[in-house]
Structure 1
């Protein structure tokens, strides 16, 4: 699901682009987008290696806003 030579990916929330800033529900910056693989948005910055596409609450310009969650699962991946 990528376009623009692997720098833009279509998700259910809109287009995710390389270099976008990922912001958690408390307003803290988690990192910047490196790429999308499957349902994971991989981050270029250390700390949180990725967030899942299902965590995206919205896209505002060059920012990805994450939905508030009741658990701390950022970067842990889904369990079967």
Structure 2
């Protein structure tokens, strides 16, 4: 895979450059710029990337993220 690709096949489905990335609460956090390893790189939003393990589903024009990351953030961490 290179950053010049415009579509990537994952276990969840095919992700294409320019698709909206939508958080579990319905907020668009950016658009797909590229897939690099296990990270979905974003442009035009408040996040630089999300792990592909956070993907809950893929529609024709959007990637929906699960709320797992928010729900488990900090669990098991020591201050």
Structure 1: gaps of 5 or more residues: 74-80
What does 1:1-80 correspond to in 2, within 5 Å? Answer: 1=1, 6-69=5-68, 70-71=71-72
Structure 2: gaps of 5 or more residues: 75-79
Which structure has more helix as a fraction of its residues?
2
TM-score for the superposition, normalised by structure 2: 0.81
Aligned length: 71
| Larger-Rg structure | 2
Alignment RMSD: 1.8
Runs of 4+ in 1 over 6 A off after TM superposition: none
